Amino acid sequence: MAKFGWAYINCSDAGAGSGSAGPPYSLQFVTESGGATTGSALFSYYTASVHSYSPSTVILSGNLVITGTISASAYHIKDISIIDATGSTYFGDSNDDVHIRTGSFVVTDAGAGPLSDYVLSASLATSQTYVKGFVGNYTAVNSPTYTLLSSDHIIGISRATAVVLTVPSASVIAAGSIFTIKDQVTSRTGGGNNITLTGTAGGDQLFDGDGTYVLTGTLPAISLYSNGTNWFVF
């Protein structure tokens, strides 16, 4: 036993009188009585592949308690019924990360049961999503021109003079995408101060087949959805 807190046991030295024991590939640990080292098949290290495990693998059959931090390049969990954790959890560290969940998903109050008082639920059985309260992304526009983004949802126009909104091509926006546009100005006057919606250069025809749409009247609004090819008013 070296003085550095670890031991190296040569295979030719293992056996009776060597101070080591246990089956081949078992990691050594000190027993409670006698201070001798031993090993167990339940805690082994394999330099070559064994069973379905890759080379250079530590195998533990039993429970493991960690009081510090686990850092791993890959983390695989299987056959888990309940994960009970306190504190915030963050997934991913890159914009190209993808997190996929199989089955249904429920977000509920901590004091409620797992299947009651939903804040958000997504059911695989019904292919429906339930939201207790919904907040869509709001964009305030106070400039003469604005090009809608795929991340926009509700667009509020606060400019009293003419505004031209450019709607992206429906072919590059996911089918089912929705824009809601609302004139928030009560004192808009004159035909030259309207809100005009138009498409991108070379883009799809918009607004039920028309290339442009002009919001008229007092505090008008329009909602559009994409079918992946064209925009439609609803």
The pLDDT tens digits for 145-196 are 999 999 999 999 999 999 999 999 888 888 999 999 999 998 877 668 899 9
The C-alpha atoms of residue 3 and residue 20 are separated, in whole angstroms, by 17
Q: pLDDT tens for residues 219-234?
A: 999 999 999 888 899 8
Residues 90 and 147 both lie in one domain: no
Structure tokens at 159: 């400019």
Confirm whether 119 is domain-assigned: no
Residues 92 and 1 both lie in one domain: yes
Confirm whether 40 is domain-assigned: yes
Strands 195-199 and 163-167: parallel
Confirm whether 129 is domain-assigned: no
Confirm whether 108 is domain-assigned: no
Residues 171 and 85 both lie in one domain: no
Total count of domains within the chain: 2
Other beta carbons within 10 angstroms of residue 148's beta carbon come to 21
Residue 131, pLDDT above cutoff 80: yes
Owning domain of residue 154: 138-233
**Whole-structure pTM value:** 0.67
